[in-house]
Amino acid sequence: MKTIYLTGFMGSGKTSVGRELARLLETFVYDTDVLIEEQENCTILELFVEKGEEYFRELEGKILKSLPTQNGVVTTGGGIVINKSNRQWMKDNGTWVYLHCDPSVISKRLESDESRPLLAGEKKNNLRKLFEIRLPIYMEAPIIVDTTSLSIEQAAKEIFTRINQ
């Protein structure tokens, strides 16, 4: 089985759905943000403050491309799709899935979250703007699953079905 790359906006459930999907597939799950935090020994927020977004993006791409392209589920940070070479990598080496979620649902989920540097400040406005910019990029994914009204288990099952079609 080719590795499945789960992409989507912050708060769209990639990490939880990815864990459940890996359980269904009886395979390994890797999370690019967790790997970056382990490697850098700090939180993503600290990394953005101390070294900046460009540094983070470089690491993110390197980690993506270092992970196995067979028999895995990779859950990614919401911005991994910004970089064209990351999109190409996911298309060429695995199954690229976009987990869509309505921005109003995401907004509610992230209301009290302070861990996402790109939403700091005017959170609702920043989220809407970023969502609009990113949506057409996410939509390039060959598999799109709308998770807005799905539970974690339902979303994982839906991906499981779609990748086996």
- Tell me if 118 contacts ligand S3P by CB under 6 A: yes
Q: How far is CA 155 from CA 9, 36, 79, 129, 141, in A?
A: 15, 26, 21, 26, 16
- Closer residue to ligand S3P (CB): 25 or 81: 81
Half-sphere exposure of 125 (CA within 13 A, CB side): 3
Stretch touching ligand S3P by CB under 6 A, among 20-28, 84-92, 110-118, 135-143: 110-118
Q: How far is the CB of 32 from ligand S3P (least distance, A)?
A: 7
Cα-Cα-Cα-Cα dihedral sign, residues 116, 130, 11, 143: negative
Site pattern 1..20 for ligand S3P (x: CB under 6 A): ---------x----------
Stretch touching ligand S3P by CB under 6 A, among 89-97, 100-108, 111-119, 141-149: 111-119
CB atoms within 10 A of CB 129: 11
